[in-house]
Structure 1
Amino acid sequence: MSKPDDASNLPAPIVAAIAGIPAALVPASVKALDRLIGATVDIPVAWLEYQKAKIVSKTEAFKTIDGAITKTAATKAEANEQFADRALDNLVRKSYRQLDNKEAVSAAMLDDLRDNPVEPDISAEQNKESAVIDDDWLNVFERYAEDASTERMQKLWGRVLAGEVRKPGKYGMRTLRFLSEFSQADALEFSAFCQNSFGGLAPKALIKTDKDISNLLAMEASGLIQGASGMGLQVTLTPDSAGRAFLIEKPLIVMFTGMPETPVKVEIISLTPLGQELVTLLPGRVPREAARLVGMAVKTDQIKAAFLMLVGQNGSATPMEILWQEEVPATPVVHNS
């Protein structure tokens, strides 16, 4: 395991936590952590074991931050001592609250990196040679992370940062803005839809569109899905010369077999690029279960079977299970008299 740069402002507990993630992800992780918790008030020792300090009294734990912001507070107070005290107290409280939120996001990121070290759609070699996280992206992310006061949002932002560490550029600025306004009710609605989607699409056979579709229209208006209104959408599966067609959501593949080079049209509702970014952040979604549902829903006269396969790091696909297979009529037995 490689060690973080000695010049890092990170506190010892966080440096120790990095030991649980792959060495290839350490540089990007340190950069992200330094931005979030290493230099909150331009003074590295501002960490001060703040989790033990309570923002209800002037203890020794506050003195470092007090010294860093007293000058600013006094200037704003214009020599008004009472105003200066209130301003200083508010700034100290705000600084600790923001730091507490960012530490929780950082911890969630490290947990995710430890449990899921490699992005499923990139190889280990690509992961090792990943690009550097963009500074502008980190600037925007930090503002959202410091306002994440609930456990749900802290874990959500932690998964976002972990994904960006593994694969810089994975989440766009628009996704960050959307997530900052993504309510729990909206997240549950979208999560329920995505249980029936795989490879960026959901067969309409799995989605209830015969009654109230207000929830679908709301997701469409938000830019998460398309095809819920109007003429709808279709996807065309065209089996190759060997009779195989594929739906892919790495590392899983649903392979359909049927009549070679005979197009098959399926009515669908599809995820937009924004929706496809967000689906990777849903904690309750199990891609394998979604693959099963979608594979079972695509049944036509031209499709004869569906199989679930797993893509390895070397690009090879390994069969996992038969989702369904058309029964071959038994050949009648002829008895000679």
Structure 2
Amino acid sequence: MDTEPNSPNLPAQIAEAISGVPKALVPSSIKALDRLIGAAVDIPVAWLGQKKAKIDAQTQAYAAVEAAIAVTAASEAGATPEIIQQAMNVLVRKEYRKQNNRNAVGQAALEDLRSSDTESTPLNDPEEIDDDWLNIFERYAEDASTERMQKLWGRVLSGEIRNPGAYSLRTLRFLSEFSQADALTFAEFCDSAFGEAAPKKLVKPDTLQDIRSLLYLESSGLINGADGIGLQRTMTFREDGTGYFTEKDLAIFFKGKPGTKFVQEVVALTPLGQELLTLLPARDPRAAAKRVAEACKSPQIEEAYLVRIVNERGDTSPIEIFWQGTTEAIDNPNT
């Protein structure tokens, strides 16, 4: 694929914005944005840029759209002029709104890609984004009429560009019905989660009498273990005395006696929940890691650190000491 920013039929301002995207992500970015907003080239950008409900019928842009839609409208309306005009008005406004929504989602994805630091950039060039996934994503993006949803779908697209396969089709369907209230409830849970689970003592302490929010998240397919006997997470310390929990490129490292086990009651995120966790804009994974590490304090654990995984070999860079200890044996979580 030609990776020059001006190679596809993208509006000039979008092609210019591509220049700020990490080089490894340019091919997939072009493919995704060309799908979302490349069609705008067929309808002049000047027309699409108008925000008024009524568009001047004398402009060349409106005339082009009018001519294209008239054929369909006439066949459906039996050539009755009044009905044709009504149908055209509805269809023009509908297509105009959909294209504006797609444009906004594309812009949000670009902003996310451009503003991300190098730590979120793939270590190697990612695979090409899937055509079938893009087809379905486009249908949801065109219905994103609020700024909140446009930014949400923009984060989904940028995440899929970075890591094709990151978001399943089930996740797309779920997000299309994900209300702001649902998002706030889930975000509150995820502030105490790291990786695939949250310590039960954080999200369901003994003093918590009302667990309706947890039961709602569980019934929605986002978490498991909110009720009943619950779930456990077991960590076995390796020969060098280390164990760890990971979330993307972050890891909480623990030190303990080699061969011993640390068992913790947890409420687990489902695969759907783990995908949605990455989309929470205000969540601070470092702060969540610290809360989780504090909840893991026990006689079996001597020290705890936060590290960043810097390459595919699993080499790490220390970030923060959660409680005091040495920095030995925290160089490679995958050995």
Q: Report the alpha carbon displacement of residue 44 of structure 1 after superposing the two structures with TM.
A: 2.1
In the alignment, structure 1 segments of 5+ residues that lack a partner are 327-337
- C-alpha contact 1:224 1:272 (8 A) present in aligned 2: yes
Partner Cα distance (2:257, 2:142) in 1: 55
Give 1:23's aligned residue. 23
In the alignment, structure 2 segments of 5+ residues that lack a partner are 326-335
Q: Report the alpha carbon displacement of residue 68 of structure 1 after superposing the two structures with TM.
A: 1.7
Partner Cα distance (2:240, 2:33) in 1: 50
- Equivalent residue runs for 1:136-215 within 5 Å: 136-209=132-205, 210-215=208-213
SS in 2 for 1:144: helix
- Equivalent residue runs for 1:50-61 within 5 Å: 50-52=48-50, 54-57=52-55, 58-60=57-59, 61=61
Q: Specify the code of the residue in structure 1 equivalent to 2:153.
A: W
Q: Report the alpha carbon displacement of residue 243 of structure 1 after superposing the two structures with TM.
A: 1.5
- Name whichever of 240-249 and 282-291 sits farther off: 240-249
Structure 1 residues 22 and 318, CA gap change in structure 2 (3 angstroms): closer
Give 1:334's aligned residue. none
Partner Cα distance (1:9, 1:320) in 2: 43
Q: Report the alpha carbon displacement of residue 117 of structure 1 after superposing the two structures with TM.
A: 6.0
CA offsets 1:163-216 (integer angstroms, 9 cap, x no match): 111111111100000000000000000001000001211111211343111100
Structure 1 residues 275 and 143, CA gap change in structure 2 (3 angstroms): same
- 2:266 pairs with 1:268: yes
Give 2:239's aligned residue. 241
CA offsets 1:213-251 (integer angstroms, 9 cap, x no match): 110011011110111111100111111122111011132
Give the ranges of 4+ consecutive aligned residues of structure 1 lying more than 6 Å apart after TM superposition.
Answer: none
Partner Cα distance (2:233, 2:51) in 1: 58
- 2:222 pairs with 1:224: yes
- 2:87 pairs with 1:87: yes
Partner Cα distance (2:128, 2:117) in 1: 17
Give 1:331's aligned residue. none
- C-alpha contact 1:9 1:44 (8 A) present in aligned 2: no
- C-alpha contact 1:120 1:250 (8 A) present in aligned 2: no
RMSD: 1.9
Partner Cα distance (1:257, 1:104) in 2: 47
Task: Using structure 2 for the length normalisation, give the TM-score.
Answer: 0.90
Partner Cα distance (1:12, 1:319) in 2: 42
- Aligned residues with identical type, % of pairs: 51
CA offsets 1:42-96 (integer angstroms, 9 cap, x no match): x624433421362314241312211221111111111100000000011110011
Partner Cα distance (1:18, 1:121) in 2: 15
- Equivalent residue runs for 1:251-290 within 5 Å: 251-290=249-288
- C-alpha contact 1:46 1:65 (8 A) present in aligned 2: no
Give 2:130's aligned residue. 134
Structure 1 residues 59 and 193, CA gap change in structure 2 (3 angstroms): farther
- C-alpha contact 1:119 1:167 (8 A) present in aligned 2: no
Structure 1 residues 292 and 252, CA gap change in structure 2 (3 angstroms): same
Alignment partner for residue 46 of structure 2, among 45, 48, 65?
48
Partner Cα distance (1:298, 1:4) in 2: 48
Give 2:330's aligned residue. none
Give 2:5's aligned residue. 4
- C-alpha contact 1:225 1:269 (8 A) present in aligned 2: yes
Q: Report the alpha carbon displacement of residue 301 of structure 1 after superposing the two structures with TM.
A: 1.5
- C-alpha contact 2:5 2:19 (8 A) present in aligned 1: no
Q: Report the alpha carbon displacement of residue 121 of structure 1 after superposing the two structures with TM.
A: 8.2
Q: Report the alpha carbon displacement of residue 23 of structure 1 after superposing the two structures with TM.
A: 2.5
- Equivalent residue runs for 1:105-120 within 5 Å: 105-116=105-116, 120=120
Partner Cα distance (2:121, 2:51) in 1: 43
Aligned length: 319
CA offsets 1:235-270 (integer angstroms, 9 cap, x no match): 111111221110111321111111211111101111
Q: Specify the code of the residue in structure 1 equivalent to 2:278.
A: T
Q: Report the alpha carbon displacement of residue 37 of structure 1 after superposing the two structures with TM.
A: 1.4
- 2:318 pairs with 1:319: yes
SS in 2 for 1:138: helix
Partner Cα distance (1:59, 1:17) in 2: 32
